Amino acid sequence: MYKLLFVFFLTFFVNTAVFAQDGASQNAAKNTSYSDQDVNRFYEYIRYFNDALKLNSKKTAKGYLLLAENQLMLMNALNEARFCAEMALGYARIGDKKKAIAFQQKATMVSRGKTIILSIKNLNHLAQSFVLTNDTTGLKRLFDKAISTASKTEKKTVKIAYVNGLFGVDENVKASTLLNELYTDTPLPENERAEILNLLIINSIKLKKTQYIDKYYQELEQLKPSITANYLLAKGMYFELKNQYANASKTYQLLVKDFNAGKRENVYLEGVLQLAQLVSKQLKKDSANYYFALLEKAIIKPFQSTAIGIRYLKFFNAHQTRFKSANSTAIDKAINTKDSLYKNELIAVTKELQYKHKIEEDKQKAELLKRQRDIAKQRSVLIIGGLCLLVIVAGTTIYILYQRRKQANLLHLAEVERLKQVHKTDIIKKLSATQEAERWRIADQLHDEVGSMISVVRLNLSEHPLKKEPITPEKLETANRILADVANTVREMSHELMPVAIRQYGLINAIEQLINDINTSGKLYIEHLIYGFDDLSKYPEDFQVSFYRIVQELFQNIVKHSKATNAIFQLVELPDSINLYIEDNGKGIEKEKVDKTGKGIGLLANRIDYYEGKISIEGQPGKGTLIVIDIPTEHMVGEQKD
């Protein structure tokens, strides 16, 4: 008991602290989701409440019910139908009518013009709470809404639940009308028809309208129904009606067994009451007293407040009248004829003793309550201190972990940046090496080709030192032709170093001119699409030259190696990148040879890597080659603006 009180006060304190901190925001929440742990804790308190009721300990049961209510406050779920239905039934079972009504109203509350739809389980719980509070009007209003909002397949189940509720408030005539309507509604599933027949048998016997009782019972037995509480009650009442008292008693005993196991629904109370009445009629006084005593502890007081209580009084009074003996009558008369003065004196002494006993009892209760409060206060202080320490430790740990994670992220970013710089430096070295090799090639070409051609020109334009031959027109023509070749060679070399077309016409026009030159040859036709590039000034000149070289290298590879007759070239400017797509119908390339180890492809890949771009090469033998290049441009455009 002390543990229960401590748990209650602790829960109340934590609940108060939470609501003092953020009560307004939690009360305003509408769509709160609950953890499985919170919901399980609530139903655990309900289970403890039911266990306490089995032991007829209403004080302990009420304590667990308060814990369940506090749990709902913590969950901000005091207006949710499924929880409120449980609470309404709980308070109704311990006789707290005011609380039961409050939770009934919450469970059936209308929100934004929509009626809350209750499950059959919650509907039965609410119906039982209305029965225990003897609220016929509330029961009717509950099921009127439930029937009107139920789906077509659920209406029968809801109506059956309504009949069970009507039994609890002794509205048997209304139940009879509803049952006849359900009985004539065909077709019905076997389980629903069996339940309706159970209720028809019970109601017909209560109303003493038994003309069809044999028909109902035979039809019920043919269905071979499940053993439900209503089936046991109907069967027991039928056996009792047919004076088969032994069979009736055995059937009622099954309901008593479930009653002793803690089931307190109206049908189990009815079963115990029927057995008490049966053994009383059989003149088994002790057995009857035993069963009446079982009910007396379970029924809400006062007895006149519920239909089952009224039936209990009716049967119990009949039992007392049945066993009232002549001796007890004589004793009563003797007591009534005692001297009035003696009686008054005896009553006065009794009242004084009761008063003294009550004072002593109240004093002990007050002292016990004070001790419990002191213990709860000390434990609350310890718990608050522990919680504060736990919060400090947890906060410190979280802060340290956050700082470590932040430092690790900074180190990671620094390492990534370092690797980028190393990669870029490596690319620059490769480009420099390639450019140096290109310079040597040009130097060799100037020396070997241009130098030798100029030497021939000098040879034709100079006189022979020995023969003294004049410079003939043929020599001049030869020298002129060779000089023209030299000029063409030097022009081609200058184009390789810096394409004139880019400076004169711009990058896009230069690419289009290159495509036109290839198409003019008649050996390869390139279909092209170029989109965007309205403003080329935002791209650095070195990038435009490098990009032109990339396109040159792609076309050169197709012309030299692919043996293609057609190709598709697409160049698109996107807001943050340039996308190049080129596909040919040539001999293709084997998968194992798709790499960047070739001299031309290697230089191409280095140029693309330098600008942080990506290249994808796909091809199959005999099915052509597809190359996709994507180069980001945000950093280039930003550098130009700066």
Q: Specify the residue for token string 């009534």.
A: 336
Model pLDDT, residue 599: 60
Q: Could you write out the three-class secondary structure of 387-444?
A: HHHHHHHHHHHHHHHHHHHHHHHHHHHHHHHHHHHHHHHHHHHHHHHHHHHHHHHHHH
- Is 300 inside a domain boundary? no
| Calpha distance 511→569 (Å, rounded) | 11
State the CATH number of the domain containing residue 532.
3.30.565.10
Which of 72-86, 320-334, 436-450, 485-499 is the most confident on average?
A: 72-86
Model pLDDT, residue 429: 63
- Is 616 inside a domain boundary? yes
Model pLDDT, residue 438: 64
- Is 240 inside a domain boundary? no
Q: What is the pLDDT of residues 336-383, one digit of tens each?
A: 544 454 455 556 556 666 666 677 778 888 888 888 888 988 888 899
| Calpha distance 191→564 (Å, rounded) | 79
**Which is more confidently placed, 345 or 478?**
478
Q: Where are the alpha helices (DSSP H) in 521-598?
A: 541-557
Quick one: pLDDT band at residue 326, thresholds 50, 70, 90? very low
Report the range of poorest mean pLDDT among 82-86, 174-178, 373-377, 537-541: 174-178
Q: Bridge-partner residues for 454, per DSSP? A: none
Mean pLDDT of all residues in 231-247 = 93
Handedness of CA 158, 160, 165, 169 (dihedral sign): positive
- Is 554 inside a domain boundary? yes
Quick one: pLDDT band at residue 394, thresholds 50, 70, 90? very high
Quick one: pLDDT band at residue 243, thresholds 50, 70, 90? very high
Range of the domain at 556: 498-641
Asked if residues 308 and 299 have their Cβ atoms less than 8 Å apart, the reply is: yes
Model pLDDT, residue 153: 73
- Is 197 inside a domain boundary? no
Model pLDDT, residue 579: 94
Model pLDDT, residue 570: 95
Mean pLDDT for the chain overall: 79
Q: What is the pLDDT of residues 131-172, one digit of tens each?
A: 888 888 888 888 888 877 877 777 778 878 777 777 777 777
- Is 608 inside a domain boundary? yes
DSSP-assigned letter for residue 560: I
Domains: count for the chain: 1
Q: What is the pLDDT of residues 5-55, one digit of tens each?
A: 444 444 444 344 333 333 333 343 344 568 889 999 999 999 999 888 888
Q: What is the pLDDT of residues 254-272, one digit of tens each?
A: 999 999 888 888 889 999 9
- Is 568 inside a domain boundary? yes
Model pLDDT, residue 87: 92
**Which is more confidently placed, 28 or 435?**
435
Model pLDDT, residue 602: 73
- Is 607 inside a domain boundary? yes
